[in-house]
Structure 1
Amino acid sequence: MSKLVLTEEETMLADMARGFLDGAAPLGKLRKMRDDGQRGDPALWKQMAEMGWAGVLVPEDAGGSDMGFTAANVIAQEMGKTLAVSPFISTAVMAATALRQVSDARAKQALARIASGEVTYALAVDEGVKHDPDATQMAARSDGNGFRLSGKKTFVVDGALADRLLVLARTADGLTLFDIPADRSGITRTASNMIDDRDAARIDFDDVEATGEDVLGQVDHAMDVLRPALQAGQAALAAEMTGLAAGAFGMTVGYLKERKQFGTEIGRFQALQHRAAHLWSETEVTASAILNAGRVLDETPGDATLAVSLAKARATATATLAVQEGVQMHGGIGMTDAYDMGFYMKRARVAAEWLGDYSYHAERVAALRGF
């Protein structure tokens, strides 16, 4: 059984990431981006690529560092602490994982472009209000040796700024995944006004041409490629949410040590100590679930469904608890935009919905456990 503690190398990676993000992407940067109407940070992504983060899951022979899923989760967790804005999960985790399932020259070239930071991806899967790939209705009708894509996708995270799209569509006998440029004729992207001030879009496909070369994997067998990518993304997002919870907890504890009532720091009040201790305990247990998900993805990826869904469900619950307790223990100031706790709450709300909410993953856990 894998140890649920970071190795020395993973600890060094976390420390390195923490030092970089504290300087390059502090929480205050998100506030400035929001005020400036900026949804992405290309300069930060370029720096991340130079550090090897864009290629964390890209094989070395394609120019990546190939550090593995646990390492990707370590990086994502540190990003969550300062709410760093980047296409890391969409591009370096999900797109890279999908492309790794295909062993051809085109996929290898695409992986190399991801590792270099040259190209970013968005995953265009969902069409309704909830995550449900199996319910895909967008049509990919046969047209000669290729296809024509028609339909719409909602809540495409990183979709307004991405260079390429991984699009899930329904073909004659199943689902097929396409890798196409985001500016192809017939594609209309409409930026969504997200509460966490991140890039997301609604995308319409109007008779969009897709050739056989655009198919990623096999026609009618999209999930062979997409399922590992989704699981990798869900685990990384859970890691980010755990980092978010830790960041909110740290901010809250700092406030408890400074704010005084009746001449005494409120952190000395036993009731608040109990609430803080409970939140810390929940965060630590969830961090173990995240680490386990990364270990399983690295060692036995075919068995990862339970570990990943458990991690995402726990991370959603823990992040929600962290931001709610943070706002309440900050009192009145916690409800104002003048204080940064609100940024954690907004990001937690969006992340809870992306790639499956608590109910979606709790149901999967229950089913796999025989309930």
Structure 2
Amino acid sequence: MDFEPSDDQRLLVESVTRMLSGAYSFAQRKGYMSLAEGYSPSVWSQFAEQGLLGLPFAEEYGGFGGGAQEVMLVMQAFGQVLVLEPYFSTVVLAGTGLNVAGSSEQKASVLPAIAEGRLKMSFAHGERQARYDLTDVVTTAKRNGSGWVLDGSKTVVAHGEAADRIIVSARTGGDRHDADGITLFLIDAGASGVARRGYVSRDDTRAADISLSNVQVSDEDVLGAVGDGLPIIQRIVEAGIAASAGETVGAMEAMNEITLEYSKTRVQFGNPIGSYQVVQHRLADMFMAQEQGRSMAMLATMSIDNPDQATRTRDIALAKVGIGQAGRYVSQSAVQMHGGIGMTEEYAVGHYFRRCMVIERLFGDPAYYLNRLASEVG
């Protein structure tokens, strides 16, 4: 895959960067955090106006027909300013599920509404007992005439409180850890029996725990084939890893820029700290980690459309380890270089640090994927 941006991709990045430069200073972001939604509805509307919400969807559904590379570039720009809006949960996670498994009717009903900014979505799969095991599902969906009844709970659902519709996984057959028997459903967030407890995550984004009690859904709400939801979930997770890798690259770029500037202005022992060789070496190491992370983000993006599942799974695991290690090194180094101010709420570096630490654990931390890679070798 050629990762040299095309002219259209350069224009995309320029337009997104220009829009964010006027709408997403650190002070503005802090203001958005204090809003009831936890993000800016005005910025969300700007995303829709610029076509970002329909970026990966086919033109027949109001989208622009973009792919994983375009999404990575947008997420990289988002990472540079720590965007709070539910783009990741709506467009990347839920959008991937619909693109991969949605029927023509489901796509026609949902995707244009997402592209226009009228519909926000989330992906609810994780459960308290599961940790990173995608097959560990105890939420149930039982037949009830021509429909289904869902019971169970989901935890740490990104932007679950803001979502209008939710993709939920539930077990329609098999035992707790069986790969078969998991089914995905499209449910209305306001449906009877759906309860949400929203909260602010450690990285300032919003999440929710969702409980399902006797939630009634129809066959038309099934996403994909009954009992065959795991491959769809895997594709959603892979898309999420690739997109969040791009976001981490953007965050590393911002931290390196902030830290370099700080090294030029912070004076110690009568000289800017950037004049000392040990600081210069650390800055060089941070830049190298950033570029290594960029390569891992490219690997993840390149792997998304690989039809060989075994190769795709291995490459995604490698990318998750690499981007996690790079993000951790740059984040910790940036905070250390700033000293105590680096961890204060009033300074941006600490916020980048927390976001990178959350992404590092999203869908599995590096240790989890290293164990998976090691088991393959063994």
Shared fold by TM > 0.5? Answer: yes
Q: Which residue of 1 aligns with 2:336?
A: 328
Q: Distance in 2 between matches of 1:361 and 1:41?
A: 35
Q: Which residue of 2 aligns with 1:185?
A: 192
Q: Distance in 1 between matches of 2:37 and 2:98?
A: 29
| Cα-Cα RMSD | 1.9
- 1:265 maps to amino acid: P
Report the TM-score, using the length of structure 2 for normalisation. Answer: 0.92
1:259-270 equivalences under 5 Å are 259-270=266-277
1:280 to 268, 273, 287: 287
The one-character-per-residue Cα deviations of 1:176-199 (angstroms, maximum 9, x if unpaired) are: 000111111001000123122211
Q: Which residue of 2 aligns with 1:86?
A: 85
Q: Which residue of 2 aligns with 1:219?
A: 226
* Segment of structure 1 superposing worse, 341-350 or 155-164: 341-350
SS in 2 for 1:192: strand
Q: Distance in 1 between matches of 2:39 and 2:172?
A: 33
Which runs of 5 or more structure 2 residues have no equivalent in the other structure?
Answer: 175-180
Q: Distance in 2 between matches of 1:3 and 1:42?
A: 35
1:201-240 equivalences under 5 Å are 201-240=208-247
* Segment of structure 1 superposing worse, 292-301 or 113-122: 292-301
Q: Distance in 1 between matches of 2:219 and 2:34?
A: 43
Q: CA deviation at 1:266?
A: 0.5
CA contact (8 A) 1:140 1:150 kept: yes
1:73 and 2:81 are equivalent in the alignment: no
Q: Which residue of 1 aligns with 2:183?
A: 176
CA contact (8 A) 2:289 2:330 kept: no
Q: Distance in 1 between matches of 2:343 and 2:85?
A: 26
Q: CA deviation at 1:38?
A: 4.7
* Aligned structure 1 segments of 4 or more residues deviating by more than 6 angstroms: none
Residues 319 and 28 (structure 1), Cα distance of their counterparts in 2 relative to 1, 3 Å cut:
farther
Q: CA deviation at 1:268?
A: 1.1
Q: Which residue of 1 aligns with 2:255?
A: 248
Q: Which residue of 2 aligns with 1:163?
A: 164
Q: CA deviation at 1:125?
A: 0.5
Q: Distance in 2 between matches of 1:175 and 1:8?
A: 42
Q: Distance in 1 between matches of 2:366 and 2:69?
A: 22
- 2:238 maps to amino acid: Q
CA contact (8 A) 2:33 2:39 kept: no
Q: Distance in 2 between matches of 1:195 and 1:80?
A: 16
Q: CA deviation at 1:23?
A: 1.4
1:309 to 284, 302, 317: 317
State how many pairs are aligned: 369
Q: Distance in 2 between matches of 1:210 and 1:259?
A: 60
The one-character-per-residue Cα deviations of 1:276-328 (angstroms, maximum 9, x if unpaired) are: 11110011011122123223324657443233222222222222212211111
* Segment of structure 1 superposing worse, 36-45 or 138-147: 36-45
CA contact (8 A) 2:303 2:315 kept: yes
Q: CA deviation at 1:225?
A: 2.5
- 2:76 maps to amino acid: Q
SS in 1 for 2:208: strand
Q: Which residue of 1 aligns with 2:127?
A: 127
Q: CA deviation at 1:87?
A: 1.3
- 1:118 maps to amino acid: R
- 1:41 maps to amino acid: S
CA contact (8 A) 2:134 2:230 kept: no
Residues 92 and 301 (structure 1), Cα distance of their counterparts in 2 relative to 1, 3 Å cut:
farther
Q: CA deviation at 1:36?
A: 4.8
CA contact (8 A) 1:40 1:161 kept: no
The one-character-per-residue Cα deviations of 1:146-183 (angstroms, maximum 9, x if unpaired) are: 11111111100010111110001111241000011111
- 2:228 maps to amino acid: H
SS in 1 for 2:77: helix
Identity score, percent: 33
Q: Distance in 1 between matches of 2:127 and 2:31?
A: 31
Q: Which residue of 2 aligns with 1:108?
A: 108
CA contact (8 A) 1:4 1:288 kept: no
Residues 215 and 44 (structure 1), Cα distance of their counterparts in 2 relative to 1, 3 Å cut:
same
The one-character-per-residue Cα deviations of 1:10-47 (angstroms, maximum 9, x if unpaired) are: 33322322222121222222222334565122221111
SS in 2 for 1:210: strand
1:357 to 347, 353, 365: 365
Report the TM-score, using the length of structure 1 for normalisation. Answer: 0.94
